[in-house]
Structure 1
Amino acid sequence: MDHKRFLSLLYPEGYPAQWEDNPKIRDYILKLGTYKIENLVREPDRLKHEAASLQEQIQELAVSNYRTFIETAECSRELFSQFSSIESKLDMLLSDIPKFEEKCKEFGEKSGDINEVRRLNSLTLSKSLQLLEVLELPQLMNSFINDGLYEDALELAAYVRKVYSKHSNIIIIKSIVEDVDKAWLTMLHQLLTQLRQDLSLPKCLQIVGYLRRMQVFSETELRIKFLQTRSCWLDECLRNIPKDDISNHLTKTIEVTRVTLFNILTQYRAIFNDDEHSPLIGDSSKNQNVIFYCWIKDKISQFLMTLMEDLKDISSMESILEQCMYFGLSFSKVGCDFRSQMIPIFISRISENFNESVAQATKNFENNMEKFTLIDKIHPSIPWKTKSEDQMQPPDSLLEFYPLGEYLNNILNILNKLRLCAPVAIVNDVVSSLQNSLIVIAKALQVLYNQEQQALTQNSKDAFTRMCMSFADDLVPYIQKCIHIIYPPSHVAEKLGVTVQYLHEDGITFLNKQVIIEPMKHLLPAKVVPDPSLIREDDKMEKSDEGNDNEDKDWDNDRKDEK
């Protein structure tokens, strides 16, 4: 019989489940199966007796070992409490295990990152020399620029940009490129500063070559920047010329402008290689040529302004004119002849200087006439009507009247200055200015006579008559001769393409004597025509010479005093 069934028969109300698998209970049931009936009947009593015996033994054991039982109980109780505590802590541990797993995972990740950083640090340490070279690239760039090693600087900048194109995501590379770009701008500034200094052609070619390789400016912008920087050098040279002496300042300005402009022009042509005779292709070529010629025009206009300002304080212009014409002639070789622009400036200044000088001479004459008097004037002892062998010798008759003599000296000084640089274009201004001045003198003689005629003696009246005759018959014709020496009518007629007779009819290079003496005409003695048979031989010779002179035939009529 199965022991489980047997147990269910023995304990119909149920039994503990662990009895089913208990080997002792199984052995005991097997043993009961071998008993006879007598033994089975006695078995309950035996079990009771054995149970009582065991109970007594237990009691004796408990009495004899009660301390041990107490300690065991206490130990059990302590173990129970410890087990309870352990159980609660195990519960807590079980609840914290997921968090612990999460923390361990985080720690693992961080440990992995730290390990990667450590690996990178180790790699960095092993590559420290190469990294140091990369980090020192900006410093090396600055060193190249400060030492003027622009070729090396350009190669280094190209290398840095190549590295950045491959590793643009690396922050340190980006920082290095930014530092190199700052040094790049410093290099650009240094190159432009050098273009503002005195440079030879090879040096200019080298600097512009660097600027081209930098690719900061387009070709047109590079041309403009080159002309701007070289203009700064030209302006600096002009500012350094001392202005104490105007003549020296203008002379130096002409020389410096000519030499410096020609150097800049040569450098520009060599660097940018513009061929004036080659056909222009596209608007860009036209614009580039316009830029250059506009710059040349601006520099020439600047020079002409300086010339115009300085000529106001310069009286002698022949050397200045010669230098300016040479300046313009030298630039005609490069298609920039500007002599035609200087001619009006010189003509205007020469004409103004001449008019101012004549006006000053006229004013001096008027001042002298205020101090001059004819009262008690006696006949001079000088032979003022003698014939001089030198036709250009000033009339001796003017020595008797110092206002006229001083006036003629002033006019001769003015004409001598004009003779050194006498433009044909101002001949009418010269003649007009002298004629107006002579008219003022004629009016001054009339005023002198009106003021002193009441107090004049016969000798004073004769002296005044001689003074008027000296003015009309000696001073005016002599000034006319001086004009014709400076402006020979034949030369002027050739330049104008007309005849000398036409010049005389239009009054070109000729003074109008009738207009000049009109204010004092009534003060001159009546003209007496002498008997030809009474003319002295020397007078005949003089008439013959003067008759052959077509230029001065209107100035040969001498007035004779009535004896």
Structure 2
Amino acid sequence: MAQAVNYHPSHMESYLQELIGRPFRDIQAEKERLKRKSESLEQEKLSYLQSNYKTLVELADCQATTKEFLGNTKELSQNIFGKKDALYNITSQSQQFLSSISIHHQQALLMHRMQPQVSSILKIPELMDSCIQKEYFSEALEFQGLTHRLRDRFASIAVIQDLVYQIEALSEKLSAKFLLQLQKPLKQYTLIKIVTYLRVTSKLSEAEIKYIFLFYAWQQLQSNLKSLIPLLDYNNPELYLKRYLQVIRDRAFSLLFQYQSVFYESTTLYADPANSTVDNANLSFNEASTLHQLDHESLQSFSQNIISSFVKKLVKEICYVLETFLPRVHETTVRSSLLLQLYYCNQSLAKVGTDMSIHLYTILGKEWLDMLISQAEEKPF
């Protein structure tokens, strides 16, 4: 009974059981009906095939194409799987490239926002060059300082690197301009500024700056002395000697005083009499190129003795003129006047640390001692 309850016959079995219960005549009629229905369905099938022939052909072609595509896809998938490492590397490189593009894009946006400021920055070399041409040195140094601050903050930016390159070239031009200024007779305040600027802008050492200063100072002194040549009369040199001592007293004193002020030196400039000749000096002032051949130790030694070399050369110059022309002066009154002027000249030079008394005694002998004694007996001038 449990099996009967759980048994569920199919539709076909139900249909057969129903036929079994019918008369034979009904079964024969049902057979004819089914046969007609089968023929009708077959006819509909043929009609459907005929009406949808093209669609079925296209469907078959699509099926074949799909199978072929699936085969190719499978092969391609196998190739891709075999090259997954290479694809991973390419993908990583692409990501890095996209990251760099993003960074450059951000920088481009920043440059766009900062375009007015960038335009001003790009004009710095032009403005600095204009200041150099017009000798606006303080302003030129301000532009140089601004560029150095930009370099310290944005050293990796190509625009700033190019700006720094241009400013460095202009700095060399500015240093050359300062050196040209030293060739001119300048007031003390201006001279101090020019030397200070040289210390900031040039690559010269302190010894080299001292040398250049005194080299041009010597040229200026010689230029002033050469202007006296038209006054020279070898048979009557009194006027020439008078003007010569006046120039020495004024210009040499001024140059030595400027040197002490500019380089903050107040030590005695006078050298030991035993070594008081320019021949014993480290270098000749007429050989500027020799300075660059010195090593660091020699350069330091030269820095300590350069002013002494200058004074030795100055003293030798004065002594040469006196030995050459003073013996040609025979009149007692004129000689006394020249000796007195020479005394005052020596006194002026003594104020800046040098003294020619021993050299003058070698040339003039007792005549110079008498001058010193007579001046010592009088009240200070």
Note whether the superposition's TM-score is higher than 0.5: yes
Q: Distance in 2 between the 1:52 and 1:75 partners? A: 30
CA contact (8 A) 1:135 1:176 kept: yes
Match of 1:326 in 2: 341
Task: Normalising by structure 1, report the TM-score.
Answer: 0.45
Contact 1:32 1:40 in 2 (8 A): no
Percent identity of paired positions between Structure 1 and Structure 2: 16
Helix, strand or coil at the partner of 1:336: coil
Counterpart of 2:65? 85
Task: Say yes or no: does 1:199 pair with 2:186.
Answer: yes
- The equivalent residue for 1:294 is 309
Q: 1:163 to 1:62 in 2, by over 3 A?
A: closer
Amino acid corresponding to residue 262 of structure 1 in structure 2:
F
Going from structure 1 to structure 2, the CA distance change for 1:113 and 1:424 (only over 3 Å counts) comes to closer
Note the residue ranges of structure 2 that are not aligned, 5 or more in a row. 269-298, 369-381
2:260 pairs with 1:269 = yes
CA distance in 1, matches of 2:125, 2:33: 106
Per-residue deviation, 1:117:
4.0
Report if the CA contact (8 A) 1:157-1:180 is conserved.
Answer: yes
User: For the Cα contact (< 8 Å) 2:224–2:247, is it kept in 1?
Assistant: yes
- After superposition, the C-alpha distances for 1:437-491 in whole angstroms (9 at most, x for unaligned) are xxxxxxxxxxxxxxxxxxxxxxxxxxxxxxxxxxxxxxxxxxxxxxxxxxxxxxx
CA distance in 1, matches of 2:73, 2:160: 51
Structure 2 residue aligned with 1:234: 221
Candidates 338, 348, 365, aligned match of 2:356: 338
Residue 213 to residue 30, structure 1, CA distance change in 2 (3 Å): same
Q: Tell me which structure has the larger Cα radius of gyration.
A: 1
Q: In the TM superposition, what is the alpha-carbon distance from 1:343 to its structure 2 partner?
A: 6.0
Q: Distance in 1 between matches of 2:316 and 2:21?
A: 152
Q: Is the 8 A contact 1:328 1:338 kept in 2?
A: no
In 1, Cα distance between equivalents of 2:14 and 2:179: 125
Q: 1:344 to 1:115 in 2, by over 3 A?
A: closer
Q: What is the alpha-carbon distance in structure 1 between the residues aligned to residue 187 and residue 367 of structure 2? A: 43
The one-letter code matched in structure 2 to 1:337 is: D
Which SS does the other structure have where 1:275 is aligned? Answer: coil
**SS of equivalent to 2:52:** helix
- 2:233 and 2:51 mapped to 1: Cα distance? 133
Which residue of the partner structure matches residue 162 of structure 1?
A: 149
Cα drift, residue 179 of structure 1:
2.1
TM-score (norm 2): 0.62
Partner of 2:10: 29
After TM superposition, the structure 1 stretch with the greater mean CA deviation from structure 2, 79-88 or 319-328, is 319-328
Contact 2:221 2:252 in 1 (8 A): yes
Contact residue 230 and residue 264 of structure 1 kept, 8 A: yes
What is the CA–CA distance in structure 2 between the aligned matches of 1:79 and 1:106, rounded to whole Å? 44
Taking the aligned partners of 1:262 and 1:327, their CA distance within structure 2 comes to 13
- Given candidates 108, 111, 115, the residue that maps to 1:128 is 115
Larger RCO (alpha carbons 8 Å, 6+ apart): 2
Match of 1:153 in 2: 140
Match of 1:541 in 2: none
Q: 2 CA distance for matches of 1:46 and 1:253?
A: 162
**Counterpart of 1:29 in structure 2: which amino acid?**
S
Do the aligned partners of residues 168 and 47 (structure 1) sit closer, same or farther apart at CA in structure 2, a change above 3 Å counting?
farther
What CA RMSD, in Å, does the superposition of the two structures yield over aligned residues?
4.9
Partner Cα distance (1:138, 1:237) in 2: 39
Q: How does 1:400-439 map to 2 (within 5 A)?
A: none
Distance 1:235 1:122 in 2: 63
Amino acid at match of 1:230: A
1:292-333 CA distance string (max 9 Å, x none): 22211122224444565x649x94466589547634642343
Q: State yes or no: 1:74 paired with 2:54.
A: yes
Which amino acid is 1:150 matched to?
F
Q: Structure 1, residues 248-290: CA drift from partner, whole Å, max 9, x if none?
A: 795455544443211101212233343348xxxxxx9998663
Change (3 A) 1:209 1:254: same
In 1, are the aligned partners of 2:217 and 2:255 still within 8 Å (CA)? yes
Give unpaired runs (5+ residues) of structure 1: 7-26, 278-283, 348-422, 426-563
Give SS of 1:337's match: coil
The residue type paired with residue 191 of structure 2 is: C
